């Protein structure tokens, strides 16, 4: 029979939906046929296909069911054995496929060497199949208990069960027919004793009467929502009209939230006027003074050194322009706050229509990307995954995906080990409210771990989990050797087989044996990804697509642990784990895989097929969740009034392992707490690559919804398609934009609907009905996973708009900024979410060379943006003016390096030539200079006040601005020009992540000196300024008419340059006791300068200043 198709479950798999048409189930749930239960416990089919029903009573028949409740000695069979079999098959299979190849599912009974116990995980231990000559494992339920499809309790694996069903249909144990064969269709489990009743209104067509959750139990919430039903006396249907008092306020099975006090989920707090008004006034004053100063400079040439005057004026004009681009977008900074309690009350609080408190929050797919286990240690990535699996969010609404762009078995097995350890770590975090939920960071926190812990068994549990984590680290760190030894053993076995075959076939024994040096998995089969010894179809850039559901989707109902299940007592603790998927997209030679952007787009498509979370959170492999409620904080903005127009939530980046002085401004607080907070008051912060929660629909390239033309909340939403959101999109051209996956195209309106805020306020014109997302997720099936494999193939994006309009944008090494710009350019807004406790934390390179290379990559991407169609000059009118200036600054700031390098040489040229940038230091010049400097200082103080940045942090930022501006930014301009003019591609350097060796000295990398050509310009600038000071001082001292004013003016600016280069000089010095030669050179120059100063002031005996050559008169 046909099932009702709700907006949240429209022929696609989603957090609250189902799979596509590949399996024989309705889109709203499983197809349920009516049955009559006999005294023997068997069901006799009452399907319309089996009995004749008159047309006039057909509607009544379809909407009424009676059954006899089960008795203790007469229990019905579980009707979801086939579903559980399919689900277990998917969870224990490694799927591979790609271009011109068949998608295969490799059943893995063993994923890692260590034992796996969690029932959701692939390769979990279980009973052996009782069929002769079969080594398969028995099917299990959510608790890991064996599933026996027959009353005789004959243990059988999934494959043998399917064979028996397709064959005789008899149980191999008792030789009786299975009750779920062709004669006895799947029936619902009535063990709960609840009687499902239909709605009297049949205007929407025949609706599935039985709504079951993943455990096979009747889902009352789903039935109430889809049937607009209510409960009355004795489970009898109570009509809407003429109800009693208990039915007041209930319409359509949903409590009228308008009758409640409506609370906003977030608030925007403006900066106090006492700070913001003077700040804006100072900007205006400095702007005016700059205008007068530059006018004065243009009118008063230095006739003695026109070349020096021209260079200085040109640089100053550019600096003024650059300052305007940077400063003007900061006119409207704001602060924001969230109300997590209001979020819980609205989406998670139990109610008459939701007695169990099932969450109505939308699903979130979390992405982690990694590319090279040598530069990105698997232990770091594993800890990030563990922090995600333990996040405080409804377990069944979370799906975690990792993209391994290197296709390494090391990463695969490390992730499997992480899933195995999560069996203990995640319930431990929930039981004791652990923060942070990255085990490495948690056990490294200094302080009293028992603070704010109320349970008496915390210390004992912590000691046990610490021991387990230490063993986990040993296993992770030992994986490279374990994989190598295993592969060597299997390769040696293959060589012996080949040698034996050659002897038996009579081949020449002297002929060399040709056996591929393969990399082997734990179950004794070839790894389909990249091998340690690369070969065809098994190299980093040439391997099949790989997909493994390492943790299958959890049950929608809470699954409490027990006292004896684990080494820790998890009684009354939810032991479910979120869904976790390992993905390595297909790579082939001759295809442009578009680096990280291509990997992220593959994750978007794969997740759309498997879970279709309407929101996506992407993290780098070294950025973990530091605040377990961070996802809820972001959801407060997305689910609030006006949230339908937000494309992403950007969280600030916070870093660990930075030296206390933050020598190279790695914290970058001026940008994250200043610039980004200011843009939040305009159109939103720019996307910075990690720690960002996206709206899936916005990432698909659609425009934001227009509330004035919004569709009604209700059944009308079921018929919306992609063309309803983009009038220019022809439904027949969907494959051109999104590819040829039907499931992917059908998932788009589902994701859009589920991402809407609740329509619980008259001002919300583009919302969804409360309770629409409470239905459980359908189990995965093989056809769906196979579809996910096809969308990560290397050919899928050919002749589509992926990377051009849809998903992460290609063509730049800073794909993050371009992707955010495209969404802002379509009219979307973004929000900056600063939480009281840092949302995420990661690592940053503290070594000077690594830091310069990181900045070089960012600046190179900005140069690419400037010379592309993503230049903000070409933006549409939907991009606000101040936002346009901010994006202009993103593309222009590297070019400031050209003028900055020239300006840093000007003091040296001035001292060496004996001329200054002005002919005389008159009063007007000094007043302008003093006014501009005072305004700059006051602006810095006020900016520190409203942004919360420390003065020392502000100064470190200024220092590194000059260091990077004279090194990495200059190189980026050169590389960008070479790419635009000569077509020379820019190489991408992956930033190395440290795993943190316990035996290493803290901040050891800070003192490591690694030479790079980027260091040449700052070194030359520093040397020139020191040398020019010495030369100018000597010349002034021994001149007949010393001009101290010119020397002091030039020396002042030289010291200004050298003060900014101080962190760079310390970086060159390295560790104490290993001082490079450059330090001695600099020391010698300073010593010479001081010696000349001392001789000039205190000349040797026997002579006077007047007797010295040229004479000397100290001013």
Active-site residue list:
405, 816
The alpha carbons of the chain give a radius of gyration, in whole angstroms, of 35
Measured CA to CA, the distance from residue 635 to residue 950 in angstroms comes to 30
Which pairing describes strands 398-404 and 364-370: parallel, antiparallel, or unpaired?
Answer: parallel
Could you give the CA distance from residue 349 to residue 326 in angstroms, rounded to a whole number?
A: 45
Beta carbons of 438 and 387 less than 8 angstroms apart? yes
Asked if residue 851 lies in contact with residue 857, where contact means CB atoms within 8 angstroms, the answer is no
Q: Taking a C-beta distance cutoff of 8 angstroms, is the pair 604, 369 a contact?
A: no
Contact 413, 653 (CB under 8 A): no
Cα(406)–Cα(542) distance, rounded to whole angstroms?
10
Q: Answer for the pair 788, 586: CB distance below 8 angstroms, yes or no.
A: no
Q: How far apart are CA 463 and CA 425, in angstroms?
A: 12
Q: Is 459 left (phi over 0), alpha (psi -120 to 50) or beta?
A: alpha
Q: How far is CA 918 from the centre of its chain?
A: 53
Taking a C-beta distance cutoff of 8 angstroms, is the pair 1065, 962 a contact?
no
Q: What is the DSSP string of 78-127?
A: PTTHHHHHHHHHHHTEEEEEETTEEEEEEE-S-SSSS----TTBTT---P
- Write out the DSSP string of 892-947: HGGGHHHHHHHHHHHHHHHHHHT--SSSS--HHHHHHHHHHHHHHHHHHHHHHHHH
Residue 802 pairs in a beta bridge with 806
- The answer to whether the beta carbons of residues 380 and 537 sit under 8 Å apart is no
How far is CA 556 from each of CA 214, 379, 563, rounded to the nearest angstrom?
7, 30, 22
Cα angle, residue 307 at apex, residues 304 and 308 outer, rounded to 5°: 80
506 Rama class: left (phi>0) / alpha (psi -120 to 50) / beta = left
Query: Coil, strand, or helix at residue 830?
Result: strand
Phi, psi of 902 (to 5 degrees): -60, -45
Residue 566: closest CA among 634, 706, 464, 690: 464
Is omega for the bond preceding 436 within 30 degrees of 0, making it cis?
A: yes
- Terminal CA-CA length for the chain: 104
CB 791 within 8 A of CB 581: no
3-state SS string for 704-732: CCCHHHCCCCCHHHHHCCHHHHCCCCCHH
Phi-psi region of 996 (alpha: psi -120 to 50; beta: other; left: phi over 0): left
- Name the nearest CA neighbour of 414 among 803, 636, 679, 111: 111
CA torsion sign for 577, 605, 819, 767 is negative
């Amino acid at each position: 029979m046909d099932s009702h198709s709700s907006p949240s479950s429209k022929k696609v798999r989603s957090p609250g939906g189902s799979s596509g048409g590949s399996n024989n189930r309705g889109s709203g749930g499983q197809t349920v046929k009516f049955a009559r239960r006999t005294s023997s416990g068997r069901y006799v089919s009452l399907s319309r296909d089996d009995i004749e029903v008159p047309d006039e009573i057909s509607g009544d028949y379809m909407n009424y069911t009676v059954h006899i409740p089960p008795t203790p000695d007469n229990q019905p069979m579980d009707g979801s054995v086939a579903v559980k079999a399919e689900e277990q098959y998917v969870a224990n299979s490694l799927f591979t496929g790609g271009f011109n190849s068949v998608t295969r599912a490799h059943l893995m009974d063993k994923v890692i060497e260590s034992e796996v116990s969690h029932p959701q995980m692939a390769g979990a231990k279980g009973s052996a199949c009782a069929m002769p000559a079969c080594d398969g494992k028995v099917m299990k339920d959510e608790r890991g208990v064996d599933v026996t499809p027959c009353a005789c309790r004959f243990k059988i694996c999934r494959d043998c069960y399917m064979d028996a069903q397709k064959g005789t249909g008899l149980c191999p144990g008792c030789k009786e027919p299975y009750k779920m064969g062709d004669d006895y269709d799947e029936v619902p489990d009535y063990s709960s004793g609840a009687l499902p009743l239909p709605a009297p209104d049949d205007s929407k067509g025949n609706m599935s009467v039985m709504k079951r959750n993943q455990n096979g139990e009747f889902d009352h919430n789903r039935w109430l929502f889809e049937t607009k039903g209510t409960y009355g006396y004795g489970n009898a249907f109570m009509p809407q009209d003429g109800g009693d008092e208990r039915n007041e306020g209930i319409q359509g099975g949903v409590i009228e939230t308008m009758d409640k006090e409506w609370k906003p989920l977030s608030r925007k707090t403006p900066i106090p006027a006492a700070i913001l008004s003077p700040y804006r006034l100072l900007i205006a004053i400095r702007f005016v003074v700059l205008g007068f100063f530059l006018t004065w400079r243009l009118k008063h040439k230095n006739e003695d050194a026109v070349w020096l005057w021209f260079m200085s004026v040109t640089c100053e004009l550019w600096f003024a322009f650059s300052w305007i681009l940077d400063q003007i977008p900061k006119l409207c900074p704001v602060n924001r706050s969230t109300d997590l309690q209001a979020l819980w009350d609205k989406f998670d609080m139990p109610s008459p229509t939701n007695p169990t408190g099932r969450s109505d929050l939308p699903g979130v797919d979390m992405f982690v990307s990694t590319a090279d286990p040598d530069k990105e240690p698997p232990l770091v990535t594993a800890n990030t995954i563990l922090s995600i699996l333990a996040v405080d969010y409804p377990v069944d609404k979370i799906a975690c995906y990792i993209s391994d762009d290197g296709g390494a078995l090391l990463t695969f097995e490390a992730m499997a080990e992480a899933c195995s350890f999560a069996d203990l770590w995640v319930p431990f975090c929930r039981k004791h409210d652990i923060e942070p939920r990255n085990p490495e960071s948690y056990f490294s926190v200094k302080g009293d771990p028992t603070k704010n812990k109320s349970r008496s068994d915390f210390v004992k549990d912590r000691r046990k989990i610490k021991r387990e984590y230490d063993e986990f680290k040993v296993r992770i760190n030992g994986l490279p050797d374990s994989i190598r030894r295993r592969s060597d053993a299997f390769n040696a076995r293959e060589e012996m087989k080949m040698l034996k075959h050659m002897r038996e076939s009579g081949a020449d024994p002297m002929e060399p044996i040709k056996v591929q040096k393969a990399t082997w998995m734990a179950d004794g089969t070839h790894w389909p990804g990249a091998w340690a010894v690369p070969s065809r179809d098994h190299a980093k850039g040439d391997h099949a697509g790989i997909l493994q559901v390492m943790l299958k989707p959890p049950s929608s109902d809470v699954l409490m642990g027990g006292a004896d299940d684990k080494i820790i007592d998890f009684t009354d603790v939810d032991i479910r784990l979120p869904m976790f998927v390992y993905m390595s997209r297909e790579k082939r030679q001759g295809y442009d895989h578009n680096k990280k952007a291509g990997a992220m787009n593959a994750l978007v498509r794969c997740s759309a097929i498997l879970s279709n979370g309407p929101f996506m959170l992407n993290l780098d492999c070294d950025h973990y969740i530091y605040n377990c409620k961070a996802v809820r904080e972001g959801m407060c903005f997305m689910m609030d009034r006006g949230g339908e127009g937000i494309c992403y939530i950007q969280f600030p980046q916070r870093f660990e392992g930075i030296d206390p002085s933050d020598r190279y401004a790695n914290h970058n607080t001026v940008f994250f707490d200043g610039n980004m907070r200011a843009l939040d008051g305009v159109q939103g912060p720019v996307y910075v690559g990690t720690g960002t929660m996206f709206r899936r629909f916005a990432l698909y390239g659609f425009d934001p919804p227009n509330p004035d033309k919004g569709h009604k909340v209700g059944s009308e939403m079921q018929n919306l398609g992609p063309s309803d959101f983009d009038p220019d999109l022809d439904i027949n051209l969907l494959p051109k934009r999104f590819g040829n996956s039907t499931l992917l195209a059908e998932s788009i309106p589902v994701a859009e609907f589920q991402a809407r805020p609740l329509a619980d306020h008259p001002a919300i014109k583009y919302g969804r009905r409360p309770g629409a997302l409470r239905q459980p997720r359908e189990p995965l099936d093989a056809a769906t996973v196979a579809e996910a494999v096809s969308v990560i193939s290397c050919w899928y994006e050919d002749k589509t708009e992926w990377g051009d309009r849809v998903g992460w944008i290609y063509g730049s090494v800073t794909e993050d900024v371009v992707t955010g710009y495209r969404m802002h350019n379509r009219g979307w807004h973004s929000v900056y979410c600063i939480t009281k406790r840092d949302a995420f934390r990661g690592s940053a390179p503290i070594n000077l060379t690594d830091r310069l290379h990181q900045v070089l990559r960012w600046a190179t991407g900005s140069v690419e943006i400037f010379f592309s169609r993503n230049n903000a000059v070409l933006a549409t009118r939907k991009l606000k003016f101040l936002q346009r200036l901010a994006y202009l600054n993103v593309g222009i700031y590297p070019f400031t390096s050209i003028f900055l390098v020239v300006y840093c040489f000007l003091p040296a040229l001035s001292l060496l030539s004996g001329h200054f940038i002005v002919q005389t230091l008159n009063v007007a010049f000094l007043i302008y200079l003093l006014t501009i400097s005072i305004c700059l200082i006051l602006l810095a103080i006020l900016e520190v006040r409203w942004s919360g940045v420390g003065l020392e942090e502000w100064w470190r930022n200024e220092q590194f601005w000059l260091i990077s501006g004279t090194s990495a930014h200059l190189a980026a301009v050169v590389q960008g020009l070479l790419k635009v003019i000569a077509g020379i591609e820019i190489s991408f350097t992956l930033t190395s992540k440290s795993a943190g060796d316990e035996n290493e000295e803290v901040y050891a990398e800070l003192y490591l000196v690694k030479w790079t050509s980027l260091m040449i310009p700052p070194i030359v600038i520093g040397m020139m300024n020191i040398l020019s000071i010495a030369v100018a001082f000597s010349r002034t001292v021994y001149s007949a008419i010393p001009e101290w004013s010119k020397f002091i003016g030039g020396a002042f600016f030289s010291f200004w340059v050298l003060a900014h280069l101080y962190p760079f000089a310390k970086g060159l010095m390295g560790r104490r006791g290993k001082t490079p030669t450059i330090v001695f050179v600099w020391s010698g120059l300073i010593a010479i300068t001081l010696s000349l100063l001392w001789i000039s002031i205190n000349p040797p005996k026997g002579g006077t200043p007047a007797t010295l050559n040229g004479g000397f008169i100290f001013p």
